[in-house]
Amino acid sequence: MIATYKKHILEFKQASGTSRGILKTKETWFIILEENGNKGIGECGILRGLSIDDRPDYEDQLKYTCDNINKGLGILYQENEAFPSIQIGLEIAFKSLVSKDEFDIFPSDFSKGNSSIPINGLIWMGTEVFMKQQIKDKIEAGFSCIKMKIGAIDFDTELNLLKSIRKEFNQEDIELRVDANGAFAPNTALEKLKQLSEFNLHSIEQPIKKGQIQEMARLCEKTPLPIALDEELIGVFGVTKQRDLLQTIKPQYIILKPSFIGGFKGSNQWIDLAKEQKIGWWITSALESNIGLNAITQYTFTKQVNIPQGLGTGSLYTNNISSPLEIKKGHITYNTKVNWDFKF
């Protein structure tokens, strides 16, 4: 078996704002396997500034992994524990290699084009006018769940945006989720959650920065609206530490980004722990190209999910890999009549 890797810089159609700054480009890496005339491709979806494997030796580790590909998936997965984005890249590539179709990673009614997955419409941070337009566009496109990133502009302005949505649409019409990306200070977070709860929100993601375990546990105990852990899961390796984290914080939900938490094997482990503790969960992409998004979406379908997932990021880029993935009326689907456009 031969393995190679290559870098791809994804370019956003428009600068996308989060509480950590403005995103204009996003780096990703592909692992390509070749064996007996067959080929497979996987994506290492690193996100600089957030992924635990955002390290100076990242490319060195990727090269080591490809040079030692004949060690096999099991050993290389273990050797890349500190590089979860490489773990998922390997998982996808090995599945791709043995599939009849390189992009049919988890064959199902989804990949056959017979079923779809409900997803949330993502509202990026920006001016009030920009955010209002995004909200209008998502509702007109048929989304029944909207996720709004908050924490970068004035909080009162964000409250007014939520108020304007609720004036037109009640919680039966539109489910509202917000994502603070850790923007709130621990001493003011509970008061902000109380204000947000007036708008019948489904949940808030990561209200305070990760690593403040006791403060987050206190918030989850007293919160008037459900809290979902997101960044908090990044870099927590091993089932014992993961179980301890959930038992200490007791969140209402956890959010699984496979590229950040050890791919499909890592996601399965978190899901088992969440079920054990009766914690809700959903899966989201982490700004991967359509290569990674496709695999994550197909994996998500195997989990028989029935609430909106965070898988609508494929249309953000000007130079994404053309694929059969399509978004229609708040669902992601796989159009088998459309071909992939990837040059191995």
List, by residue number, the catalytic residues.
149, 257
Q: Which residue has the tokens 């200490």?
A: 248
Distance CA 283, CA 196 (A): 23
Considering only CA atoms, which of 91, 93, 118, 95 is closest in space to residue 106? 95
* Tokens of residue 189, six digits: 């977070």
Neighbours of 157 (CB within 10 A): 12
Distance CA 266, CA 286 (A): 15
DSSP result, 165-197: HHHH--TTT-EEEEE-TTBB-HHHHHHHHHHHG
Q: Phi and psi dihedrals of 283, rounded to 5?
A: -115, 140
| 3-class SS string, 229-267 | ECHHHCCCCCHHHHHHHHHHHCCCEEEECCCCCCHHHHH
Contact 88, 96 (CB under 8 A): no
280 forms beta bridges with: 253
Q: Long-range pairs for 22-27 at CB < 8 Å and ≥24 separation?
A: 23/287, 26/287, 26/317
Considering only CA atoms, which of 83, 116, 121 is closest in space to residue 284? 121
The burial class, CB within 10 Å (0-12 / 13-18 / 19+), for 41 is buried
User: CB neighbours of 338 closer than 8 A, spacing ≥ 6?
Assistant: 322, 323, 324, 326
* Tokens of residue 146, six digits: 């909207």
